[in-house]
Structure 1
Amino acid sequence: MPSPLRVPARLLHARCKTTAAQHVAARHLDHTFERLAAAHLPLVAASPLVDALRASPEPLALPDLARRLPLRLHRRGPLHFLRLFPRVFHLRAPLPLSLSLTPAAADLLAVASSPADAARTLHRLLAMSGSRALPLRAVFRVWRELSLPDDFEESVIAGHPHLFRLAPNPAEPNTHILHLVADSAAEDFTPVVDKTRSDRYAFKLQFPPGFRLTKEYRKKVKEWQQLPYAGPYEAVSPRAGGSKRVSKLARRKMEKRAVGIAHEFLSLTVEKMVEVEKFSQFRKWFGIEVNVRDVFLDHPGIFYLSAKGKRHTVFLREAYDRGKLVEPNEVSEARAKLVELMLLRRRGLGNANSSANMASGAASDAKESGDDFVEHEDCLLDVPET
């Protein structure tokens, strides 16, 4: 379903040659979601560091951390980044400086779903796969988004042998595939979208402020809403021979099924948002045969795609009202409070944190853009082998 926004002809005629970032920049901005994405950037950038600190019972020396982790947190260096957020990171003198989480941050980070709730989330995730199996490393990429416990491999997977089993990946050495146990795969899950839609195949639409809905576009939306499709938990047979030649109607159904899968996936996440690159790890396993980034861009009434901080993050529109989750939970509220701690930076603290935090430049720090935070590579994290 194409967007009604006018895109320069040079982009339309050379779509295959333009970058995804250019496509994102060409669509209508929703400043509420842009602010939300910007507020999360420091926490996203610091996630490898946070994980290392949580795993250690004692403060960690900065030189040791620098050897273990890619501490490219800020364009002005990692120490500057740490000094920006004294309510989350506690720097300890004397030299060499050591680092720990503040008690407030540690308490908020410890909030997670119970093993039983996490098992149900993981069960639904696996049920969306046609083979009822997923690579374990893909699950590791989204464990925060799904609010899985830190030790979910033991507490959730090994703790529920009637639901899950791990097996070596024959296609890739030293990796594992997570399977649903045969009997558990028969559970009939109802997609979250079925709770809100009035028509059998329709999705709830919430277009951004100022979005121009032309008569032609409304007609296309109505036709698309009435289009039947296979739901996220329905088995779909692969196309014979993997042929790329399909009818226009078949491709539209494939696209709508991809929308349904993405909607359900986002509904399973704690904050109803995920980085597109992480979701793409599941594309083949979910049987999605269309470009997922285009799916998000082409359905602005269902999703919002932000490119803030040089990363693409997709939000489920209906889950938010004025930048707040419609149905918050204990985990999402804890994360919101953690984000608030980071947004406060050094305001109101003066020099009270420690001698290691002097010369922080609080006034200028408060005005810095979220784009100053450096992207991290999850492949560099010290995570359990999958």
Structure 2
Amino acid sequence: MGASSLRSLLLKTLSSSPPPSSHGFHSQTRSVAKVRLKWVKNRGLDHIIDTETDLKAACLLKDAIHRSSHGFLSSRFLSDKKKLLGLTVPVLRFLRRYPTLFHEFPHPQYSNLPCFKLTDTALLLHNQEQSIHDTHESDSVERLTRLLMMSQTRQIPFQALIPLKWDLGLPDNFIKDWIPKYPDRFRAVKRHDGLPCLSLARWDEELAVSQLQKNFEKGDPDDGVGSGSSHYRNFKKGRFLAFPMNFPRGYGAQKKVIAWMDEFQKLPYISPYEDSSEIEPLSDLMEKRVVGVLHEILSLTIHKKTKRNYLRHLREELNLPHKFTRIFTRYPGIFYLSLKCKTTSVVLKEGYRRAKLVEAHPLARIREKFYYVMRTGVMYRGKGLQELIYAKDNMGDDKGDGVDQDSEEDDEMEDEDSEEIATDFDSESDEE
């Protein structure tokens, strides 16, 4: 797709819709005014995508090496995993970039074959991460349960679920451990076409509450959801809930944008856990429902972001329209679409304030420590392991990297390469 074609796609306006139909308590007429919005680059969020791409790759490599029966993996096995790891450099070069995490040594039998194992530093961080997984397992189980509850069939193929493992904060072996441990929540089944899936064993009404409804309960005026004096269980179908908005500089003050968002926000809110089969596919209501589903999925992630292609592989399960990804550029006050690292990532803007997570999950904090070791560990190589690991704990509030999230510049989207779904690669050792 050429740059001009992609630009036309991003500037696509609202289309007309069929005659109105009903969904019990509302009309589904498309009446929202047309607005043309240009994609705007956000340097702060792009910087986050850039740094966390390397962080995620390092964590996946760490898990793969730890799973290996030999405790190490050879460069021969890892050399073709560049795309699966989302790297823009060869895997061997990436591993050598972080010697405080990955120790290189010659293969015991083939001296010319480089191998890599985890350093004591990486093992200590891994153990800390596992402790967090154990402590917060119930929270992780609930996140996975909610994702399955949003699926129309209450099941998701493993091949679509595994790539989301890191984003959702699921432990490395969650499939093997959780299915037998939580038989009242999860089951392994095969779809009608034979595709292996994780299925929801039992609906949990207590979990069928979206993050937007929880914000309604809190009554945070910054969230734009009203006084919130009533409990979210008192929220009635057909009532509107407003999504928090943070427009790129210059958009929020435009009268036409204000009018458009005012109409959109006043549409009835459809929970992502409700049945949407009776909603007219091309209606304004369905569009707001799609925004709600995407908002909820990103709210479930640890870093309030994921790759666009990961969401595409959930399209059928979540009853999303074929071209649902246009939503991300149609609502720049809610989502940000980043093209960093030769891929397309989607960020929930309300999850960040000045390029920092508003609410950092414990896993996000240990990952921040992991990245700190990646970035500065070389300076501590001769000063002792504990000083290296806990230096981050003794730091004050991180002032960031000098990148202001609110600093933006206009920049039209360029072409992006096609991206293959990154499945979790098998870490069984290839040693002979």
Fold-level similarity (TM above 0.5): yes
Counterpart residue type for residue 156 of structure 2: L
Using the TM superposition, name which of 208-217 and 189-198 deviates more. Answer: 208-217
**2:101–2:119 Cα contact (<8 Å) kept:** yes
TM-superposed deviation, 1:64:
4.6
User: Measured at CA, do residues 103 and 324 of structure 1 come closer, stay the same or move farther in structure 2, by a change above 3 Å?
Assistant: farther
Report what 1:85 is aligned to. 98
Report what 2:169 is aligned to. 147
Unaligned ranges ≥5, structure 1: 1-8, 19-25, 354-374
1:70 aligned to which of 77, 81, 85: 81
Spell out the pairing of 1:107-118 with structure 2 (5 A cutoff). 107-110=124-127, 111=129, 112-114=132-134, 115-118=137-140
**2:73–2:117 Cα contact (<8 Å) kept:** no
1:105 aligned to which of 98, 122, 144: 122
User: Measured at CA, do residues 322 and 87 of structure 1 come closer, stay the same or move farther in structure 2, by a change above 3 Å?
Assistant: farther
1:217 aligned to which of 248, 257, 261: 257
**1:28–1:211 Cα contact (<8 Å) kept:** no
Cα displacement string for residues 153-202 of structure 1 (whole angstroms, at most 9, x for unaligned residues): 23222211112222122213xx32222224x3444521111233424320
User: Measured at CA, do residues 154 and 63 of structure 1 come closer, stay the same or move farther in structure 2, by a change above 3 Å?
Assistant: closer
Report what 2:41 is aligned to. 29
Report what 1:49 is aligned to. 61
Report what 2:184 is aligned to. 162
Query: 2:140 aligned with 1:123, yes or no?
Result: no
Cα displacement string for residues 119-157 of structure 1 (whole angstroms, at most 9, x for unaligned residues): 211111111112222212222121111111222123222
User: Measured at CA, do residues 335 and 218 of structure 1 come closer, stay the same or move farther in structure 2, by a change above 3 Å?
Assistant: same
Counterpart residue type for residue 285 of structure 1: E
**1:157–1:165 Cα contact (<8 Å) kept:** yes
State the distance in 2 between where 1:76 and 1:291 align: 31
TM-superposed deviation, 1:62:
2.4
Report what 2:399 is aligned to. none
Spell out the pairing of 1:1-386 with structure 2 (5 A cutoff). 11=5, 15=9, 27-46=39-58, 48-56=60-68, 58-66=70-78, 69-71=80-82, 77-93=90-106, 95=111, 96-110=113-127, 111=129, 112-114=132-134, 115-172=137-194, 175-182=195-202, 184-187=203-206, 189-196=208-215, 197-199=224-226, 200-211=240-251, 213-237=253-277, 246=282, 250=283, 252-289=284-321, 291-344=323-376, 346=378, 378-379=422-423, 381-382=425-426
Name the SS of the counterpart of 1:145 in structure 2. Answer: helix
**2:162–2:424 Cα contact (<8 Å) kept:** no
State the distance in 1 between where 2:317 and 2:427 align: 22
Name the SS of the counterpart of 2:363 in structure 1. Answer: helix
State the distance in 2 between where 1:66 and 1:139 align: 23
**1:255–1:290 Cα contact (<8 Å) kept:** no
State the distance in 2 between where 1:205 and 1:10 align: 28
Cα displacement string for residues 7-44 of structure 1 (whole angstroms, at most 9, x for unaligned residues): xx95589539x9xxxxxxx6111111011111112234
**2:100–2:381 Cα contact (<8 Å) kept:** no
Counterpart residue type for residue 91 of structure 1: E
